[in-house]
Amino acid sequence: MPVHNADITVIFEEIADLLEIEGANTFRIRAYRNAARILGDLPQEARVLVERGDDLTRLPGIGADLAGKIDEIVTTGHCSLLERLRRELPPAITELLKIPGLGPKRVKALYHDLDVQTVEQLHRAAQDGRIRSLHGFGEKTEQNILQAVQAHASQSRRFKLATAAQYAEALRAFLQAIPGVQQVIVAGSFRRMRETVGDLDILVTATPDSKVMQRFTAYDEVAEVFSAGETRASILLKCGMQVDLRVVAQQSYGAALHYFTGSKSHNIAVRRIAQQLGLKVNEYGVFRGAQRIAGDSEESVYRAVGLPYIPPELREDRGEIEAARAGRLPQLVELTDLRGDLHAHTKSSDGHGSLRDMALAAKALGLEYLAITDHSRHLTIAHGLDPLQLARQCDEIDRLNTQLDGITLLKGIEVDILEDGSLDLPDGVLARLDLVVGAVHSRFNLSRAKQTERILRAMDHPHFTLLAHPSGRLIEKREPYDVDMLRIIRHAKQRGCYLELNANPERLDLLDSHCQSAREEGVLVSIDSDAHSTFDFANLRYGIGQARRGWLEKSDVLNTRPLAALRKLIKRTM
């Protein structure tokens, strides 16, 4: 398997962490952290440099020792120093570093003074009040650690939707191929397209002689079988994800699908309506007394309680039942409604494809236009463009557009919104572009008032078109920054600009609830891939999922417009 720079980065980061826990010399630790950063930013694979026989010590911050390590990792896939450190320290100690608030220094103290080696031991030490007495900790820190451990425990059981999809789709294909199996569907939060998924709930219909249960529990990704009966089984995959499988009768398929799709609160609300009608709804069907009156399809379940079909993404008991009763359910946007994508990167900043690569990939997906929005200069780690580089890219796009057929590239930029709300490139430069995507990439910790003001000021800018990933959160990695989103939405309305729903599975913001607000305020949302390679366009489906959870219709989405109509909408007049 070829070693990538990202692999070396991970190894160097772990070495630095372990050295720090060991109490090594700070210069040595810093050298590994620096090297990790340099490799992460390197536009070329170190492997290629080594294969070519290039002198690695010519890279900034890489001395003979580090060059030797890189060589070793690239050629063997291992690093003997890391292996030695791992033997010297307890195996679970790096887990402790994942607890927010615990860096290598604190882990070192916890390990050396309290012999804390695992998250469980940390939890107990905090509960017993043993941590507060450590030098540099105190009672407040101990409380914070306790909370963080509890949050970590409940959080680590969830998976990002895109991650869950990898396992779900493989498992679905596996089940579908078993003799006698008819329908296979993944229900639960996965079907509702929640941004994270706790476990997978799979429903199957099969002929009576099918060996689906035996085959399921023998799936080669299974780490543990919790239970296995005639019609239901629960397993744990090696990746740590639980999967519940149920085999249901064809006549109950709709009722079971409805029940196991949830959400629980939606189901409860539906059951309440059924009770008012003298009916009973469960996973086997809809019953009047002992008589089954519906249940073979989901539509039949809803029909029996006097409702139209409600799409899974809306089933959260957030007004969908009332809307359905009143005939006001939205006609949710679909992937095929998208005509373009307004946020994508190329090799010119931190992407991996050329302009042409990206254009052709977007076209292959059936898109009619693609905005190229590389980073601006302030974002140095992403090799942001300065005015001259941007001008050159614009020339190239103009040239390419005369050659391309069936897809149009739009000239754009993902410009940094600086702390005072000004934009990272001069007006004259922005004026040449078709659109300006503004984004916050720094100072995430400003106060709510300041952060909100910063974004409002950016929107006041005459060339500002679209606010990228408006909350700044990274799922399970970084909390959203603190802003008054409703004010931002209203300001966008006033200024004639738009908000993005970023389809990257780690972002998926706007959040669903903010999509609803944007729709109510009449602000169009752009569902963008933020593609950094040709593969990333596939993420648009997750953006669509989040948009549907946010009740958006085709007409609420900016990039469902054909190019001519879009051009009018992104031309700022205010």
Q: Which is nearer to ligand DGT, 154 or 447 (CB)?
A: 154
How many residues lie near ligand DGT (CB under 6 A)?
A: 14
Q: 14 or 201: whose CB is closer to ligand DGT?
A: 201
Residues 197 to 236: which contact ligand DGT by CB under 6 A? 197-199, 201
262 binds, among Ca ion, ligand DGT, none (CB under 5 to 8 A by kind): ligand DGT
Q: Smallest distance from the beta carbon of 318 to ligand DGT, in angstroms? A: 14
Rounded least distance, CB 331 to ligand DGT, Å: 24
> Which residue in the set 13, 14, 17, 199 belongs to the binding site for Ca ion (CB under 5 A)?
199
Q: Is 272 in the site for ligand DGT (CB under 6 A)?
A: no
Least CB distance from residue 281 to ligand DGT, whole Å? 9
Of 79, 93, 78, 80, the C-alpha closest to 22 is: 93
Question: How many angstroms separate the Cα of 4 from the Cα of each of 39, 73, 532?
Answer: 10, 10, 17
The 3-state secondary structure of 466-510, one letter per residue: EECCCCCCECCCECCCCCCHHHHHHHHHHHCCEEEEECCCCCCCC
Closer to ligand DGT by Cβ: residue 262 or 340: 262
Among residues 317 and 337, whose Cβ is nearest to ligand DGT? Answer: 317
Least distance to ligand DGT from the beta carbon of 160, Å?
A: 11
Which parts of 118-176 fold into alpha helices (H)?
119-127, 138-155, 161-176
CB burial class (10 A; 0-12, 13-18, 19+) of residue 431?
Answer: exposed
Angle 64-70-73 (CA atoms, 0-180°, nearest 5)?
Answer: 140
Please identify which residue in 167, 216, 260, 498 interacts with ligand DGT, judged by CB under 6 A: 260
Report the nearest approach of Ca ion to the CB of residue 515 (Å). 23
**Residue placing its CB nearer to Ca ion in the complex, 192 or 541:** 192
Print the binding letters for residues 383-422 with Ca ion: x by CB under 5 A, - otherwise: ----------------------------------------
Distance CA 258, CA 392 (A): 55
Task: Looking at residues 201 to 230 of the shown chain, list those that interact with Ca ion (rule: CB under 5 A).
Answer: 201
Please choose, out of 196-204, 232-240, 318-326, 408-416, the segment that lies near Ca ion by the rule CB under 5 A: 196-204
Strand 159-160, strand 232-237: pairing? unpaired
Q: Which residue is nearest to ligand DGT (CB)?
A: 262
Q: Does 159 bind ligand DGT (CB under 6 A)?
A: no
Is residue 267 at the binding interface for ligand DGT, with CB under 6 A as the rule? Answer: yes
We find the least distance from the C-beta atom of residue 176 to Ca ion, in angstroms, to be 20
Which of 12, 85, 110, 262 is in the footprint of ligand DGT by CB under 6 A?
Answer: 262
Of 263, 422, 494, 533, which lies in the binding site for ligand DGT, with binding defined by CB under 6 A? 263
Q: How far is the CB of 190 from Ca ion (least distance, A)?
A: 7
Three-class SS of residue 557? strand
Interacting positions 236-275 with Ca ion (CB under 5 A): 244
- For 216, 230, 529, the CA distances from 441, given in Å and listed in that order, are 45, 53, 17
DSSP-derived pairing of the beta strands 369-372 and 525-528: unpaired
β-pairing, 199-206 vs 181-186, is antiparallel
547 φ, ψ to 5°? -60, -40
**Interacting partner of 183 out of ligand DGT, Ca ion, none (Cβ under 5 to 8 A depending on kind):** none
Tokens standing for residue 89: 């320290």
3-state secondary structure of 200: strand
**Could you give the residue ranges of the DSSP H alpha helices within 53-160?**
64-76, 80-88, 93-96, 104-114, 119-127, 138-155
Q: Least CB distance from residue 189 to Ca ion, whole Å? A: 5
Q: Which C-beta is closer to Ca ion: that of 39 or that of 197?
A: 197
Pair 504, 526: CB distance under 8 Å: no
> Is residue 504 involved in binding ligand DGT (CB under 6 A)?
no
Q: Which is nearer to Ca ion, 144 or 242 (CB)?
A: 242
Q: How many residues does the chain have?
A: 574
> Helix 5-22 and helix 80-88: axis angle, to 10°?
40
Q: Which is nearer to ligand DGT, 188 or 421 (CB)?
A: 188
Angle subtended by helix axes 540-549 and 512-521, to nearest 10: 70
Q: Nearest Cα to 194, choosing from 557, 545, 556, 553?
A: 545
Q: For the chain, how long is the longest CA-to-CA vector?
A: 82
The Cα 347–Cα 349 span in angstroms is: 5
Q: Residue 147 and residue 126: Cα distance in Å, rounded?
A: 10
Residues in 182-201 at the binding interface with ligand DGT, rule: CB under 6 A:
188-189, 194, 197-199, 201
Q: Please identify which residue in 78, 232, 264, 571 interacts with ligand DGT, judged by CB under 6 A.
A: 264
Q: Which stretch binds ligand DGT (CB under 6 A): 104-112, 131-139, 259-267, 351-359?
A: 259-267
Nearest residue to Ca ion on Cβ basis: 188
Residue 565 C-beta: closest distance to ligand DGT, Å: 38
Please select the residue that binds ligand DGT; options are 6, 170, 173, 268, rule is CB under 6 A.
Answer: 268
**Nearest approach, Cβ of 158 to Ca ion (angstroms)?**
10
- Give the nearer residue to ligand DGT in terms of CB position, either 228 or 404: 228
Burial degree of 273 (CB within 10 A; 0-12, 13-18, 19+):
middle
Nearer to Ca ion, 189 or 393 (CB): 189
CB 485 within 8 A of CB 456: no
Q: Supply the minimum distance, in Å, between the C-beta of residue 198 and ligand DGT.
A: 3
Task: Mark out the alpha helices in 305-386 (DSSP H runs).
Answer: 320-325, 355-364
* Binding site residues, Ca ion, CB under 5 A: 188-189, 199, 201, 244
* Binding site residues, ligand DGT, CB under 6 A: 188-189, 194, 197-199, 201, 259-260, 262-264, 267-268
